[in-house]
Copies of this chain bind each other. A is one copy, B any other.
Amino acid sequence: MSISAAALAARPLEQRSRRPAHPAGVRAYAGTLDMMGAPMSFSRNEEIYGESEAAEYLYKVVSGAVRMYKVLADGRRQIGAFYLPGDMFGFEPADAHASSAEAIGDVTVLVFKRNAVLSLAARDSDVARRLWEMTARELDRSRKHAFLLILSAQERVASFLLEMAARSRTSGEIELPMSRQDIGDYLGLTIETVSRTLSQLESVGAIAVPTARRITCNSGTLSRLNAC
C-alpha cells in the first residue's frame, strides 16, 4: 500500500502545475467545459487530491486510470471508484473532498476550476444540465457499486470484469490498469480471494488470463454467473 508515497506527494496543487504546453495525447477539444481545462500529469501512485482538501477543481481523465478511495484509521482502504479516459471526477456535494484520488499508473487529466464551472453553470443552463447529468451518472455508478458489495465473491468479480469490459469498450480482451490489491479494495475482498476467484472463473471457462493484467472475457458465461 503506497500510502506514504502518496502522502509525500500531497503538496499544494499550484506547485505541481508545471504544465507542458501541449502534453502528449491532448487534442483540441470542442465543448465549452473542455476548452477551460488545463492539462496536467501525474505519475504512478501520485496523489491528485487528498481527503479533506478543499475541492477546488474538477478533473477529466485524458489517459491512464485513477482510483478514488478512503482509508480508515486501522489501514483498511476502500476504493470508491476507478476513473478511465473520458471520465470526469472530483464532484463533491461539499466544498471539501470526502475521499482521496491517486494516479494508478502515469495519468494525464484536464483540470477545471470548480468555481469557474459552477458560475458558468449559473449563467449557462446547458452547462448546468451537463453538470447535473454527470453527477447523476456518478450517483448511478455509486449505487451499482454499493449493490456489488452484497454479492458473493464470484458475483463481485464477474460484475467487475463485465463493468470494466463495458467501459473499455474493447469487447472481450481487457487490459486492467490496476493491481489485485486495488481490485480487492474496490470489491471488498482480499487479494487472495480475488486471485482465487479469477482462477476459478478461468477453470470454468468464463475467462482466460494470459497475463495477470490482461483478461479475455466470455461475456455470456460471465453474465450467467453475475446474478444482476
Residue with the highest number of chain B CB atoms closer than 10 Å, among A73, A80, A149: A149
Instruction: Collect the chain B residues with CB atoms within 8 Å of residue A227's CB.
Output: 72-74, 76
Instruction: Collect the chain B residues with CB atoms within 8 Å of residue A146's CB.
Output: 78, 80, 142, 145-146, 149
- Taking a contact as CB atoms closer than 8 A, the residue among B93, B132, B137 that contacts A128 in the complex is B132
Q: Which of A10-18, A104-112, A119-127, A194-202 contacts B (4 or more CB under 8 A)?
A: A119-127
Q: Size range of the interface on A?
A: 35 or more
Stoichiometry, as copies per complex, reads 2
> Is A139 an interface residue when CB atoms closer than 8 A count as contact?
yes
- Taking a contact as CB atoms closer than 8 A, the residue among B80, B121, B137, B139 that contacts A138 in the complex is B139
Query: Shortest beta-carbon distance, A153 to chain B, in Å?
Result: 13
Query: Shortest beta-carbon distance, A103 to chain B, in Å?
Result: 20
Residue with the highest number of chain B CB atoms closer than 10 Å, among A91, A131, A133, A135: A135
Q: Are B80 and A137 in touch, CB under 8 angstroms?
A: no
Q: Are A72 and B135 in touch, CB under 8 angstroms?
A: no
Instruction: Annotate A140-155 by CB proximity to B: 1 below 8 A, 0 otherwise.
Output: 1011011101100000
Interface residues of A in 67-121 (CB under 8 A from B): 70, 72-74, 76, 78, 80, 91-94, 98-99, 121
Identify the A interface with B (CB < 8 A). Answer: 70, 72-74, 76, 78, 80, 91-94, 98-99, 121-123, 125, 128-129, 131-133, 135-140, 142-143, 145-147, 149-150, 188, 227-228
